[in-house]
Amino acid sequence: MPNSPAYNSLWQVRTDAWSSLEESAAQLVLAGSQNHQVESLAETIRGLLDVLGPIERFWAFPGTQSFQKARRLFTEGKYDRFATLVSGINRALATDSFRTSPATNLDADADAFDRVIKPMEQVRKARPYFEVLIVEDMTEQQELALVEEMRQWRRPDDPFTYEIVVLHSLEDALMAARLNFRLQACVVRRRFTHRSRYDSSSLHQFADMIVADDLMEHSPDERAQILARALARIRPELDLYLMTEIAVEDIAGRLSHHFRRIFHTREGSLELHLSILDGVSARYRAPFFSALRSYSQRPTGVFHALPISHGKSIVESHWIRDMVDFYGLDIFLAETSATCGGLDSLLEPTGPLREAQQLAAETFGSRQTYFVTNGTSTANKIVVQALVQPGDIVLVDRNCHQSHHYGLMLAGAMVTYLEAYPLNHYSMYGAVPLKEIKGQLLALRRAGKLDRVKMLLLTNCTFDGVVYDVRRVMEECLAIKPDLIFLWDEAWFAFARFHPIYRPRTAMRAARTLIDQLRQPVYRAEYAKFAEEVGPVDAADDETLLNRRLIPDPARTRVRVYSTQSTHKTLTSLRQGSMIHITDQDFSQKVEETFHEAYMTHTSTSPNYQILASLDLGRRQAALEGFELVQKQVENAMRLRDAVDHHPLLSKYMRCLMTRDVIPVEYRESGIDQPLRSGLPNMIKAWESDEFVLDPSRVTIYIGATGIEGDAFKRSHLMDRYGVQINKTSRNTVLFMTTIGTTRSSVAYLIEVLVDIARDLEARLADLSPTERAAHERAVLRLTAPSAPLPDFSGFHPSFRDANGQPDAATPEGDVRRAFYLSYNDSYCEYLKPEEVEQRVENGEQVVSTTYVTPYPPGYPVLVPGQVFSPEILAFMRSLDTPEIHGYRPDLGYRVYADKALEITATARQASPPGGNPASPSDQKPPPARRPRG
């Protein structure tokens, strides 16, 4: 059996089993006739062959025949030949050499393998390799003949090479799609069975797709359709082909949306071979990268304002030649601008860039995708400006990224802050409960403002890895407000599309599911039943709507969903590469033009083409190996978690936060404390049902017991001593993110570093004097005791609230833009030291911030322009020992509004509508005396 469990992929188990097999086989040969050793080695080998047995049939290399041959040699006691064969296979797997040679005639002959094993350089330069699954119930002879037939079509100038895996049943096919990440295409033939003929019980956790039990009662076409749908749910990127013997024209009419092509069996396999290559070529194409590369190879005379183009200002320089030495020449050869060289324009793409964005839309499952070169910070501002007009109400998580705060301020939105649940023990926030969102929507409905609510803006997943049930949030909100627009900030979640369990919780997949669902007659029937129970939603009472699950009215709902992703954070792209994905049923009628204007507002007229090309390539990689890389990422994260939590020394000082630490039980319907650690089926269950789940690839380690504060741990220990970079800490935690770039070696290095830190700490503690020990214990106590509670949003000052013509504002939204710009007049502002603010608050006065005040960490604004100070905020600020507080000047204190400004703005508001231009200070009367807190 494998030493450690497989969490979501068998990749590490398989790799480790082949390596151990090679080692044990070599020892077996050396052991010769020493019986007791032979027996124990043989036992180990039998165990390893049993681990590999059920897996190998899903992979083309080494293939079932070669694996059986190895097993036979072992059973027959031909240990020399067995060891040679196993060693050859393992070396071919470890060096990736199998990608360069057809997996035929594997022999227990060392010379043969020496010819197969290629130097790394040669493997890297070889044509890309992939595997194709053929699903048909056939004999071994037929299988070999089919494989040979497909191989005969290979040509030296084919862009790729592939091998074939033949499986007989639907169950095997789904398992293969889940396990074999090298598959790029699947050919479904008419005759396949439902259940596997092999014992796959050890793999059942990976067959996470439930398919109807009565499969064999369906017609062959229906079976093909069921299989195609199930495969697409696991791997939407796979090219699916159908081969059939009957009425191909008729079937094509009915099933073509499931399959890329449908072939008649008798037409032979050449067309199929060409289509397979063509399908992968379509994803491999990187039109913008290719155009940029061709441009870079052309000699040009540049009289454009671009001296660096073709390296011209560098290669002749006497002083900056090291720039070329370091970066290489190609990057400068590719430096260009839209107006030179026939490349496309980012602001008005019509050629390769447009095509690159269309390919990205296909890969990420959106209707439109736009590339952005200044990060998701800019992407967020573009989307908000495109959709929100001054005075529109936007509901937003207060802990969202600063780009939203600035974007909403610029747009003149009336902002309603939503409260995420706090995790005081770790000084961080979770996510916004659905009840809080519905509660705010219903309050706005009561105040007669629902028609002004434009958008809900949430971060999925949060920095710390809390993931929403995206579809449910949208369903329930749309039930209350059928035209609500959603902006999901997926800065940290671009990779999620490529894992079957994560995918349903992404904005684009949820939007697509919602659109499909609303069209289904069964859904309409379900809604009719719901409407009968609840009555017209517009008339239903708040209590009912708050406490039951709501579903949207298919006749009124418009699905309007936007997501912004920092491709550079979780997939491959140069820094700042970001994408906006859109699935908005009203985009072309209502948004396209304002979107274009917003895009122009925020985009440079000299965008960096290298970033755009890297987005194009990042998309290609995600489309072809995203599934593999994300599987490995999650597996690496789980190994990191295990290594920390099971290490005797590390576990004394550190522990990985798990789902139950970060997500209170009331948000976990499944009741599962550690979804993936307790087995993949549990992860599936939790991810299907829970209001929030935790992304296991974000590993937050609790370090309270070290007595070292998070920021100091990051700077003095991880970065300065070991060069380990991380980007988030809290008072007593450090967050380690695993990405598609994380390797097993980097996980091992991190463990080494953590063990080193723990050892140092242990040694230091042993030498402490009693006074030092007492100081250390105090530090531990401070870090392990709950901190001052994270403060709720205290509210906008009435001058910035939206009273909707009534004397008192019933809902809390505020005009951040007005509050922000009023402070441009210095005479309206003053600085107050924290003690002075405290004194005034204690006296019952309202003290109002002119600006965002953001301590880092935790990195969210504790105060926004126009917000009143509260005793809770002051207590929280007092408890912080972070040196970095944006918007606060240690020499002067907080910048707050002088009373006269508040009085003036209150008067001005009566004369101008919400979200209108800020009051012009010059024509206002002087303010009356300070107003007590009301």
Q: Which chain residues interact with ligand PLP by CB under 6 A?
A: 375-377, 401, 403, 459, 463, 489, 491, 566, 578
CA distance 734 to 376: 23
Q: 């003149």: which residue's tokens?
A: 412
CA distance 520 to 465: 33
Closest contact distance (angstroms) between CB of 820 and ligand PLP is 20
83: nearest Cα among 48, 47, 107, 108: 108
Cis geometry, peptide bond prior to residue 858 (ω within 30 degrees of 0): yes
CA distance 21 to 47: 10
**How, if at all, do strands 261-264 and 829-832 pair?**
unpaired
Closest contact distance (angstroms) between CB of 792 and ligand PLP is 20
Q: Which is nearer to ligand PLP, 332 or 488 (CB)?
A: 488
CB–CB of 639/4 below 8 Å?
A: yes
Q: Which is nearer to ligand PLP, 377 or 732 (CB)?
A: 377
Q: Which is nearer to ligand PLP, 580 or 747 (CB)?
A: 580
Q: Cα–Cα–Cα angle for 457, 460, 461, nearest 5°?
A: 150
CB–CB of 125/178 below 8 Å?
A: no
Closest contact distance (angstroms) between CB of 609 and ligand PLP is 18
List b or e across 896-910, with b for residues whose CB sees 16 or more CB atoms inside 10 angstroms: bbbbbbbbbbbebbe
Q: Which is nearer to ligand PLP, 394 or 758 (CB)?
A: 394
Closest contact distance (angstroms) between CB of 118 and ligand PLP is 39
Q: Which is nearer to ligand PLP, 377 or 563 (CB)?
A: 377
Closest contact distance (angstroms) between CB of 211 and ligand PLP is 37
Q: Which is nearer to ligand PLP, 375 or 618 (CB)?
A: 375
Closest contact distance (angstroms) between CB of 558 and ligand PLP is 25
Closest contact distance (angstroms) between CB of 831 and ligand PLP is 29
Cβ contacts of residue 154 below 8 Å, gap of 6+?
Answer: 161
CA distance 6 to 461: 24
Q: Which two tokens stand for residue 250?
A: 């008729």
Q: Which is nearer to ligand PLP, 433 or 858 (CB)?
A: 858
Residue 892's alpha-carbon distances to 290, 830, 834, in angstroms, are 55, 9, 9
CA distance 261 to 238: 13
Q: What share of the chain is helix, strand, coil (3-state, %, to 5)?
A: 50, 15, 35
Closest contact distance (angstroms) between CB of 399 and ligand PLP is 9
Closest contact distance (angstroms) between CB of 620 and ligand PLP is 20
**How, if at all, do strands 161-167 and 129-135 pair?**
parallel
Q: Which is nearer to ligand PLP, 569 or 632 (CB)?
A: 569
Q: Which is nearer to ligand PLP, 403 or 563 (CB)?
A: 403
Q: Which is nearer to ligand PLP, 309 or 603 (CB)?
A: 603
869: nearest Cα among 925, 793, 920, 785: 793
Q: Which two tokens stand for residue 593?
A: 């033009």
Q: What is the DSSP string of 170-210?
A: HHHHHHHHHH-TTEEEEEEES--BSS-SS--GGGGGG----
CB–CB of 660/722 below 8 Å?
A: no
Cis geometry, peptide bond prior to residue 2 (ω within 30 degrees of 0): no
Q: Which is nearer to ligand PLP, 423 or 680 (CB)?
A: 423
Q: Which is nearer to ligand PLP, 552 or 858 (CB)?
A: 858
Q: 């370091």: which residue's tokens?
A: 326
φ, ψ for residue 176, nearest 5 deg: -65, -40
Closest contact distance (angstroms) between CB of 377 and ligand PLP is 3
List b or e across 484-493, with b for residues whose CB sees 16 or more CB atoms inside 10 angstroms: bbbbbbbbbb
What are the residues facing 262 on neighbouring strands? Answer: 242
246: nearest Cα among 191, 295, 287: 191
Closest contact distance (angstroms) between CB of 566 and ligand PLP is 4
Residue 898's alpha-carbon distances to 785, 802, 823, in angstroms, are 38, 21, 10
CA distance 156 to 609: 34
For ligand PLP, the nearest residue by Cβ is 375
CB–CB of 404/491 below 8 Å?
A: no
Closest contact distance (angstroms) between CB of 379 and ligand PLP is 7
Q: 């063509």: which residue's tokens?
A: 278
Q: Which is nearer to ligand PLP, 375 or 704 (CB)?
A: 375
Q: Which is nearer to ligand PLP, 618 or 704 (CB)?
A: 618
Q: Which is nearer to ligand PLP, 578 or 849 (CB)?
A: 578
Single-letter residue type at 421: Y
Q: Which is nearer to ligand PLP, 375 or 607 (CB)?
A: 375
Closest contact distance (angstroms) between CB of 759 and ligand PLP is 33
Closest contact distance (angstroms) between CB of 489 and ligand PLP is 5
Closest contact distance (angstroms) between CB of 382 and ligand PLP is 12
Closest contact distance (angstroms) between CB of 380 and ligand PLP is 6
Beta strand extents in 399-513 (DSSP E only): 414-418, 422-423, 428-429, 453-459, 466-468, 485-489
CB–CB of 52/14 below 8 Å?
A: yes
Q: What is the DSSP string of 548-567?
A: S-----TTT---EEEEEE-H
Closest contact distance (angstroms) between CB of 629 and ligand PLP is 20
Q: Which is nearer to ligand PLP, 489 or 625 (CB)?
A: 489
Q: Is 161 helix (H, G, I), strand (E, B) or coil?
A: strand
Q: Which two tokens stand for residue 745?
A: 């070696």
